[in-house]
Amino acid sequence: MHVDQPYRIVIAGGGTAGWIAAAVLARFLPPSRYEISLVESDAIGTVGVGEATIPQLQLLNAALGLDEFAFMRETQATYKLGIEFVGWGASDSRYIHAFGAVGRQIGQTPFQHFWRRGRDLGETAPLDAYSVNSAAAYAGKFTRAKSHPPQPNDIAHAFHFDASLYARYLGAYAQARGVKRLEGQINAVQTDAQSGHVTSLSLDGDRTLPGDLFIDCTGFRGLLIEGAVGVGYEAWGHWLPCDRALALPCASAPELTPFTRSTAHRAGWQWRIPLQHRIGNGHVYCSSHISDDEAAQVLTSGLDGEALGDPRILKFTTGRRKVFWRGNVVALGLASGFLEPLESTSIHLVQSAVERLLKFLPNGTINAVDVSAYNSQTIFEWERVRDFIILHYHANSRPEPFWRDCATMAVPDSLTEKLELFRANGRISRFNEELFAEPGWLQVMVGQGVIPDGYHPFADNQSPAEVKELLALLRRSVAKQVADMPSHEAFIARHCRAV
Ligand SMILES: Cc1cc2nc3c(=O)[nH]c(=O)nc-3n(C[C@H](O)[C@H](O)[C@H](O)COP(=O)(O)OP(=O)(O)OC[C@H]3O[C@@H](n4cnc5c(N)ncnc54)[C@H](O)[C@@H]3O)c2cc1C
List CB contacts of 154: < 8 A, sequence separation 6 or more: 100, 132, 145, 146, 147
What gap in Å lies between CA 311 and CA 412, rounded to an integer?
34
What gap in Å lies between CA 81 and CA 130, rounded to an integer?
14
Tell me, in angstroms, the distance from the centre of ligand 1 to residue 494's CA. 32
pLDDT of residue 3: 56
pLDDT of residue 296: 98
What gap in Å lies between CA 284 and CA 266, rounded to an integer?
11
Q: Rg for the chain (alpha carbons), in Å?
A: 23
Tell me, in angstroms, the distance from the centre of ligand 1 to residue 349's CA. 12
State the burial class of residue 323 (Cβ atoms within 10 Å of its Cβ: 0-12, 13-18, 19+): buried
| Pick from 364, 183, 402, 150: nearest CA to 288 | 402
State the burial class of residue 161 (Cβ atoms within 10 Å of its Cβ: 0-12, 13-18, 19+): buried
Tell me, in angstroms, the distance from the centre of ligand 1 to residue 48's CA. 7
* Bridge partners, 487 (sequence order): 141
pLDDT along the chain (499 residues), means of 10: 80 97 98 96 90 96 97 97 97 95 94 98 96 97 84 89 95 98 98 96 97 98 97 98 97 94 98 97 98 98 94 97 98 97 96 98 93 98 98 97 98 97 95 91 98 97 97 97 96 95
Task: Name the residue of 16, 279, 281 to mutate for ligand 1: max ligand atoms within 8 A of Cβ.
Answer: 16
Tell me, in angstroms, the distance from the centre of ligand 1 to residue 212's CA. 24
Q: How far is CA 433 from the centre of its chain?
A: 16
DSSP conformation letters of 94-155? EEEEESS--S--BTTB-HHHHHHHHHHTT----GGGG-HHHHHHHHTB----SSSSPPTTS-
Q: Which amino acid is at 129?
A: A
Index of the ligand 1 atom closest to the CA of residue 40:
44
Index of the ligand 1 atom closest to the CA of residue 336:
26
Q: Whose CA is nearest to atom 16 of ligand 1?
A: 50
Tell me, in angstroms, the distance from the centre of ligand 1 to residue 185's CA. 16
Residues near ligand 1 with C-beta < 6 Å? 13-18, 39-41, 44-47, 49-53, 163, 185-186, 217-219, 221, 223, 245, 247, 282, 314, 316, 333-335, 341, 344, 346-347
What separation in angstroms does the CA of 371 have from each of 13, 89, 173, 356?
A: 22, 40, 29, 11
What gap in Å lies between CA 453 and CA 223, rounded to an integer?
50
- The Cα angle at residue 253 between residues 443 and 259, in degrees rounded to 5: 20
Provide the pairing of β-strand 82-86 with 260-265.
parallel
Tell me, in angstroms, the distance from the centre of ligand 1 to residue 83's CA. 22
What gap in Å lies between CA 250 and CA 180, rounded to an integer?
36
pLDDT of residue 49: 86
Tell me, in angstroms, the distance from the centre of ligand 1 to residue 346's CA. 10
Q: Whose CA is nearest to atom 35 of ligand 1?
A: 13
Q: Whose CA is nearest to atom 2 of ligand 1?
A: 49
| Pick from 149, 186, 166, 158: nearest CA to 11 | 186
Under 8 Å between Cβ of 235 and 319: yes
pLDDT of residue 290: 98
Find the length of the chain: 499
Index of the ligand 1 atom closest to the CA of residue 46:
29
For 39-78, what is each residue's pLDDT tens digit?
Answer: 999 999 998 887 999 999 999 999 999 999 999 999 999 9
* Beta-carbon count within 10 A of 45 CB: 12
Domain edges within the chain: 7-51+162-236+318-366, 101-140+388-483, 244-315
User: Rounded to 5 degrees, what are φ and ψ at 328?
Assistant: -110, 25
| Pick from 116, 329, 111: nearest CA to 231 | 329
State the burial class of residue 111 (Cβ atoms within 10 Å of its Cβ: 0-12, 13-18, 19+): buried
Ranges of H-type helices in 368-463? 368-394, 401-408, 413-425, 438-447
pTM of the model: 0.96
Find the distance separating the first CA and the last CA of the chain, reported in whole Å.
47
The CATH superfamily label for domain 7-51+162-236+318-366 reads FAD/NAD(P)-binding domain (3.50.50.60)
Buried b (16+ CB within 10 A) or exposed e, 213-238: bbbbbbbeebbbbbebbebeeeebee
Tell me, in angstroms, the distance from the centre of ligand 1 to residue 8's CA. 23
Under 8 Å between Cβ of 429 and 443: no
* Beta-carbon count within 10 A of 463 CB: 9
pLDDT of residue 50: 75
* Bridge partners, 235 (sequence order): 319
Index of the ligand 1 atom closest to the CA of residue 345:
11
Tell me, in angstroms, the distance from the centre of ligand 1 to residue 404's CA. 32
Q: Whose CA is nearest to atom 31 of ligand 1?
A: 15
Under 8 Å between Cβ of 267 and 299: no
Under 8 Å between Cβ of 45 and 198: no
What separation in angstroms does the CA of 154 have from each of 18, 104, 216?
A: 33, 12, 38
Which strands form 94-98's sheet, in the order they lie side by side?
94-98, 82-86, 260-265, 268-274, 279-285, 244-247, 312-315
Q: How far is CA 394 from the centre of its chain?
A: 19
Under 8 Å between Cβ of 138 and 81: no
Index of the ligand 1 atom closest to the CA of residue 43:
47
